[in-house]
Amino acid sequence: MLSHTRPARIVISLVFALASLQSCLTHAASVVTGTPRGFAFGTTGGGNAAPVYPTSIRDLKTFLSDEQPRVIVLKQAFNFVKTEGSTTEEGCRPMHNLNCIAKKSGFRGQDAIQPSFSKCDGSKVSVTYDNAANTPLLVGSNKTLVGDGMKGVLNGKGLIISGSNVIVQNIHITNLNPHVIWGGDAITIRGASTDVVPKGIWLDHIKVSNIGRQMIVINFSGATGVTISNSDFDGRTKYSTSCDGRHYWGFLFLGKHTEMSLLGNYLHQISGRSPKVGGSETDAVFLHAANNYFEDNSDHAFDTTTGAIVLAEGNYFDSVKTPIAHSTKGSFLAPNAGVDCKAKLGRSCVPNVLTKSGTLSSISGDAVETKISNLKVHLRAIKVRTAAKLAVASGNFGVGAFDNDSSDQTSPIQESVETGPIQESVEMSPIQESVETSPIEKSVEMSPIQESVETSPIQESVETSPIEESVAL
């Protein structure tokens, strides 16, 4: 009897083992939805590594920064507020905030942390800020960070991506000292040094809200193979540098060599830098912006300066005062007709649509045509649709619900997303909030304020906005 049952048991064991292995592989492969379009095409992140599920801040830090390929799934929110203490020091009340207070309009401005490299054009005041927001989580190479449903929230701390081959999908970064300039950037892409250029980064279906400074910044090192897609950049805030309930510090794309795509995103209630591209004689930043939806932006959207080369097609501007800031520097092509770039690109470009908005004109468009001719094989592969309004999802973060292909979520809707009064995702200011997590050791990746710049911020851009001039950034 034993001689007959043993082979059967072995076969049954093998069947269960193979089924278990197939389940694990399927689970690992299905964590990320879709594949990246644009310049991030081919990015795999942690690949088929077995998913890990951090339950503590310590685990999350380790998984993101170690040298192992990782697929990290967030099945809970992480609250960093007060975990690293707070700082009270002399800061600045810039002139734009003094003017905001004098208006008595009901809106609040932003005070500023006062780094040594900046000047205060207003009055010195005491500022208090949460330390965690200025020590972002370090993300190494070959990492996938994905939120489960609406659970993947980073409250009070952002990310700094220093590695290559990174995917961040379906997370919400919020509440980074929104009351002060230099309070914290949501996502920084920066090599370990100015000579190290991160490659292959896909940011998809993310949401950013209530921050002190930039939503996304690519630093002086630059980055290649970057795609930001299907994401919700929510500028509604109580603390507005532009004194109108809209966040000014949107995006800053720099670098000696940067190539990136901005595809199918919803940028709303922002008053500037959405995005700002280039800024120094050494910058060479190419941005392809397509099928994005800009809504209710009270000042400028695009801001192209020295070193910028931008192709903007198929974007929808709804109630945007200034779709592009006036500048004689940088290069910007906004095709008025499909044939405008067909000769150079090998396909027709898609015109932008503007309603209740200012004008969108090209700047040194010939330079853009020359650049896209060199990149035509890559750009022809990107499907650009007719400009349309977009809708945020209800079961996940960002634009559009997940389906079989997260890379193409920018399905149009007929009506604008309903926008009510200015609100905050987190009602309390970060210093007022309480948390139940235990204090942890302060991150050592970088000191406060240094997260978004490596040298004096004066080098970051040609100053074109009175807001920027007033805080000497």
The rounded distance, in Å, linking the Cα atoms of 360 and 277 is: 16
Helices (H) and strands (E) in the chain, counts: 7, 29
Q: Is the pLDDT of residue 21 over 50?
A: no
Q: Which amino acid is at 286?
A: F
Mean pLDDT of 313-320: 98
What is the pLDDT of the chain when averaged over all its residues? 85
pLDDT at 337: 72
Mean pLDDT of 343-364: 94
* Spatial contact of 112 and 471, defined as CB atoms under 8 Å apart: yes
Each residue of 177-198: pLDDT tens digit? 999 999 999 999 999 888 899 9
pLDDT at 338: 66
pLDDT at 118: 87
Please give the structure tokens belonging to residue 357. Answer: 């908005």
pTM of the model: 0.84
Mean pLDDT of 48-74: 98
- Domains of the chain and CATH, by start: 78-402 (2.160.20.10)
* Spatial contact of 425 and 388, defined as CB atoms under 8 Å apart: no
Q: Which residue has the higher pLDDT, 115 or 443?
A: 115
- The band of 468, judged by pLDDT with boundaries at 50, 70 and 90, is low
Active site residues: 273
Residue with tokens 């975990």: 83
Cis peptide leading into residue 51 (ω within 30°): no
pLDDT at 421: 33
Q: Mention every residue, 6+ apart, whose C-beta is less than 8 A from residue 219.
A: 188, 189, 190, 191, 254, 255, 452, 453, 454
Mean pLDDT of 168-185: 98
Please give the structure tokens belonging to residue 233. Answer: 């950049």
pLDDT at 72: 99
187 burial via Cβ count (<10 Å: 0-12, 13-18, 19+): buried
Q: Which amino acid is at 324?
A: I
Q: What are phi and psi of 137, to 5 degrees?
A: -70, 130
Q: Which residue has the higher pLDDT, 205 or 405?
A: 205
Q: Which residue has the higher pLDDT, 396 or 194?
A: 396
Q: What are phi and psi of 273, to 5 degrees?
A: 50, 55
Q: Which residue has the higher pLDDT, 283 or 441?
A: 283
* Spatial contact of 286 and 306, defined as CB atoms under 8 Å apart: no
- The band of 30, judged by pLDDT with boundaries at 50, 70 and 90, is low
* Spatial contact of 99 and 244, defined as CB atoms under 8 Å apart: no
Q: Which residue has the higher pLDDT, 206 or 8?
A: 206
176 strand-pairing partners: 211
The rounded distance, in Å, linking the Cα atoms of 430 and 183 is: 10
Q: Which residue has the higher pLDDT, 186 or 15?
A: 186
Mean pLDDT of 91-95: 98
Please give the structure tokens belonging to residue 467. Answer: 């807001």
Mean pLDDT of 37-61: 98
Q: Which amino acid is at 280?
A: S
